[in-house]
Amino acid sequence: MAASGAVLAECHDALAAEVGVGVTTAHLDAVAEELIRARGGIPAFKGYPGPTPYPASICASVNDAVVHGIPDGYALRDGDVLALDVGVILDGWVSDAARTHGIGTVSPIASRLIDVTRVSLERGIAACLVGNHVGDIGHAVQTEVEAAGFSVVESLVGHGVGRSMHEEPQVPNFGRPGTGVELTEGLVIAIEPMVNAGRHEVILADDGWTIATRDGTLSAHWEHTVAVTADGPRILTLS
């Protein structure tokens, strides 16, 4: 899984170097797919079952889109908030990670939203200790987000990951300390705070995939695949 995560981290680095004003999300999708396949991997999202099989290798969710935005001919504009989510299968092992980029010069609120969401992921990861519970992760994420005046999306959650992309347990981005499934040595989970600048409610777009904020406010998404080890959390999708 670490090998899979290393390919995914490299892919995210390549995407980070590629994003910018005028770049299309379809181009980013092509860059990601090419890199993953060149490393002997398979894009985990492509063909993933849903209302229709997922048609791309990455999710590119712009501004009020929270997650599962489908790459297309949209050319990024100055000030956009772009969440990129990618999954890799290498030798049968899945890794899953997301980063959010500000395009060009973003508003102060957008910049703070991106930072707070990234820090909330770090807080959640820090709670990935043997003997802790999934509620400790959610509580850590939620505390960080709500202190900033933002809201956690509750209808979408992180998840166990391994031979399949979505395994037990579910990992909500909210919760009470000491509640939920206990974290045991060797468990690998994808922690993925989805944070809205406004209210937490989301809607499903007409394409059947894109999830967007109901109130039209900006949203950000960060995700890592993390192993629970006796030595503490080991992030498998770190550059």
Give the footprint of Co ion on this chain (CB under 5 A): 96, 190, 192
Regarding 48 and contact with ligand MF3 (CB under 6 A), the answer is: yes
Minimum CB separation from Co ion for residue 228, in Å?
16
Question: Of these, 85, 145, 202, 213, which contacts ligand MF3 (CB under 6 A)?
Answer: 85
* Beta carbons within 10 angstroms of residue 87's beta carbon: 29
Using the minimum distance from each CB to ligand MF3, give the nearer residue, 46 or 112: 46
Report the distance separating Cα 129 and Cα 150, nearest Å: 26
Determine the size of the site formed for ligand MF3 (CB under 6 A).
Answer: 12
Regarding 68 and contact with ligand MF3 (CB under 6 A), the answer is: yes
8 A C-beta contact, residue 86 and residue 105? no
Give the range of 16-24, 44-52, 112-120, 135-143 binding ligand MF3 by CB under 6 A: 44-52
- Rounded to a whole number of angstroms, the distance between the first and last alpha carbons of the chain is 14
Task: Tell me how long the chain is.
Answer: 239
Regarding 29 and contact with ligand MF3 (CB under 6 A), the answer is: no
Minimum CB separation from ligand MF3 for residue 204, in Å?
13
Regarding 80 and contact with ligand MF3 (CB under 6 A), the answer is: no
Regarding 222 and contact with ligand MF3 (CB under 6 A), the answer is: no
Using the minimum distance from each CB to Co ion, give the nearer residue, 175 or 193: 193
* Beta carbons within 10 angstroms of residue 52's beta carbon: 10
8 A C-beta contact, residue 18 and residue 99? no
Using the minimum distance from each CB to Co ion, give the nearer residue, 95 or 213: 95
Minimum CB separation from ligand MF3 for residue 124, in Å?
15
Per DSSP (E only), the strands in the chain are: 42-43, 58-62, 65-67, 81-90, 93-102, 151-152, 158-160, 167-171, 188-191, 194-196, 202-204, 211-213, 219-221, 224-229, 232-235
Pairing status of strand 194-196 against strand 151-152? antiparallel
Residues that bind ligand MF3 (CB under 6 A): 45, 48, 50, 54, 59, 68, 85, 87, 96, 159, 190, 223
